[in-house]
Amino acid sequence: MSARQFLYHQLHIGAKPDGRLTPLNILLVWVIIAAVVTGIMSTEVEFDRQWHDEILMAELGFGVVFLAEYAARIFAAPEHPGPGSAAAKRLRFIVSPLGLIDLAVVLITFAPFFVSHAAALRIVRLLRVISIMKFGRFTVATREMAMAIRERSYDLLVCLALAFVLLLTGATLLYFIEGELQPEAFGSIPRALWWAVITFTTVGYGDVYPVTSLGRLIGSAVAIIGVLLVALPTGIVAAAFSDAMQHRREEIEKALKKAKERGELPGDETGDIT
């Protein structure tokens, strides 16, 4: 196995037939978590003042690791299955969403060493939290959830349309009932929509609420129906996610079976879908 093939199998999720993370991927996950925690804690003034030098050294280390990972992914990109030359595959990775995220994380990680303006430095430190976006590459659940949402997009759109109808109906009724009594809260349908959204989602800030008996009756109905409608997309996504995970289990079992037939795995090896 060449160095490029080795890097590709170590970095690419799914290169192993059982779908498990490689040791290098596990290390990168911990580095990402450490980088995010450091970025969060550095926004605390007292913590940053006491551990300033240590934070800078940690940031430099994270930057080196992320830069090496980015370079390694570009180097190993030609091993990705599919048509195209090595240069084309590398360019495809660089301009891909994951490639752009990797590049942005590298630039933002090194930015504090080149930014001296205090306000700009605070912004850069806040942006460093986007390192968590790299974590999505290593989580099967993220990809499966995205697939589940795409597959149930029509069902979710229907739920969204029903929710909008309810919000608009509730806001319109409260506008007619209490628009003159509470012009600041219900003096227009857009103003009443704020109350409708807060009531529909059962947040209930209490800053806006109906005072008439009829208005409270409508508010109660909006709240109850809102609870029922909010439960619908949850069930849809949960069912789709369960189906996607079952599909993944079947795919892993097929891949393991083929690998065993080729002698790549011992006979008692089992897969891990986490």
pLDDT, position 40: 81
Is there a domain that residue 208 lies in?
A: yes
Total of domains in the chain? 2
40 and 133 belong to one structural domain = yes
pLDDT, position 12: 76
Is there a domain that residue 15 lies in?
A: yes
CATH code, 12: 1.20.120.350
191 and 117 belong to one structural domain = no
The tens digit of pLDDT for each residue in 35-57 reads 888 888 877 888 878 888 888 89
Is there a domain that residue 21 lies in?
A: yes
111 and 178 belong to one structural domain = no
Mean pLDDT by 10 residues, the chain (274 residues): 83 62 84 85 82 87 92 90 87 89 85 66 63 66 72 85 90 92 90 90 83 91 86 83 78 75 56 40
Select from 71, 101, 96, 73 the least CA-distant residue to 12: 73
44 and 159 belong to one structural domain = no
- Predicted TM-score (pTM) of this structure: 0.61
Is there a domain that residue 274 lies in?
A: no
CATH code, 218: 1.10.287.70
Is there a domain that residue 165 lies in?
A: yes
16 and 127 belong to one structural domain = yes
- Judged by DSSP in three states, 182 sits in coil
10 and 114 belong to one structural domain = yes
Select from 110, 109, 105 the least CA-distant residue to 135: 105
Query: Where in the sequence is the domain holding 74, given as residue range(s)?
Result: 3-138
The tens digit of pLDDT for each residue in 218-242 reads 989 988 988 888 788 888 888 887 8
C-alpha distances in Å from residue 79, one per residue of 10, 100, 113? 12, 19, 34
Is there a domain that residue 272 lies in?
A: no
Select from 211, 234, 36, 203 the least CA-distant residue to 135: 36
